[in-house]
C-alpha cells in the first residue's frame, strides 16, 4: 500500500528491524561486535520503515538542516532531509571536504579521529538534527555537537538508528540534548 508521499506503508516492528542487523565480530578490531546496518538498507521494507519512523518523529519539529555523519549517517540522513524539506549537511572525516571547513577531533572506542563540515553550512536560525547510524560511547555524536555548536544554531536534536545500550557514554556526552534511538541493542 502506498502513502500520499509515495512511500510504502509497511508495519514492521522494531524487533523485526533489529533482527535484520548483521553483526560482524572483531571488526574493525578484535572484541568489537560491529552492527552492520547495510543489511537494513538492502531490504526495501526495512529502509522504508526506518524512513517512516524517522520522518514521523521529526515532521513537526521545524528541522531546517539534517547533519549526516560519515558514512552510514549519509544514507537515512539524506532521505530524512528530503522528506522533511530540509537541507542535508555531510560531516566527513578529515581531508575529505574541499574548501573552507570547521573541524573537531574526538576519541573513538578504538582510536582517535577528526570530523569536518563546510563553513557556513549551518546558520544561526537553523534547527539541526544530527543523525548517525550507531550510538556507542557517544564520541562521534559529541564531536558533531561541538562542531555544529560552533555555528550557534537555534536548536540541536540528536538521532541514531541503533543505540548500543551496554556501552557507557563518554563523560562529555551532551545529555542535555534530545536524543532518539529507535533500535536498542544490548551486547557486552
Among 45, 70, 107, 109, the active-site one is 109
Query: HEC states along the chain?
Result: CECCCCCECCCCCHHHHHHHCEEEECCCCCCCEEEECHHHHHCHHHHHHHHHHHHHHHCCCCCCEEEEECCCHHHHHHHHHHHHCCEEEEEEECCCCCCCEEEEEEEECCEEEEEEEECCCCCCCCEEEEEEEEECCCHHHHHHHHHHHCCCCCEEEEEEEEEECCCCCCCCCCCCCCEECCEEECCC
146: annotated active-site residue: no
70: annotated active-site residue: no
Which positions are annotated as active-site residues?
A: 72, 109
Amino acid at each position: 500500500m502506498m502513502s500520499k508521499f509515495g512511500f510504502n506503508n509497511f508495519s514492521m516492528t522494531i524487533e523485526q528491524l533489529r533482527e535484520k542487523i548483521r553483526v560482524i565480530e572483531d571488526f574493525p578490531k578484535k572484541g568489537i561486535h560491529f552492527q552492520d546496518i547495510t543489511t537494513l538498507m538492502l531490504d526495501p521494507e526495512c529502509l522504508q520503515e526506518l524512513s517512516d519512523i524517522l520522518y514521523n518523529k521529526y515532521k513537526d519539529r521545524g528541522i531546517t538542516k539534517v547533519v549526516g555523519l560519515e558514512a552510514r549517517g549519509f544514507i537515512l540522513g539524506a532521505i530524512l532531509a528530503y522528506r522533511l524539506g530540509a537541507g542535508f549537511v555531510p560531516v566527513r572525516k578529515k581531508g575529505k571536504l574541499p574548501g573552507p571547513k570547521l573541524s573537531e577531533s574526538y576519541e573513538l572506542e578504538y582510536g582517535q579521529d577528526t570530523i569536518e563540515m563546510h563553513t557556513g553550512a549551518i546558520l544561526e536560525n537553523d534547527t539541526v538534527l544530527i543523525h548517525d547510524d550507531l550510538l556507542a560511547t557517544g564520541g562521534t555524536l559529541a564531536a558533531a555537537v561541538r562542531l555544529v555548536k560552533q555555528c550557534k544554531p537555534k536548536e540541536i536534536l540528536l538521532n541514531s538508528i541503533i543505540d548500543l545500550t551496554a556501552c557507557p557514554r563518554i563523560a562529555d556526552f551532551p545529555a542535555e540534548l534530545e536524543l532518539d534511538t529507535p533500535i536498542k541493542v544490548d551486547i557486552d
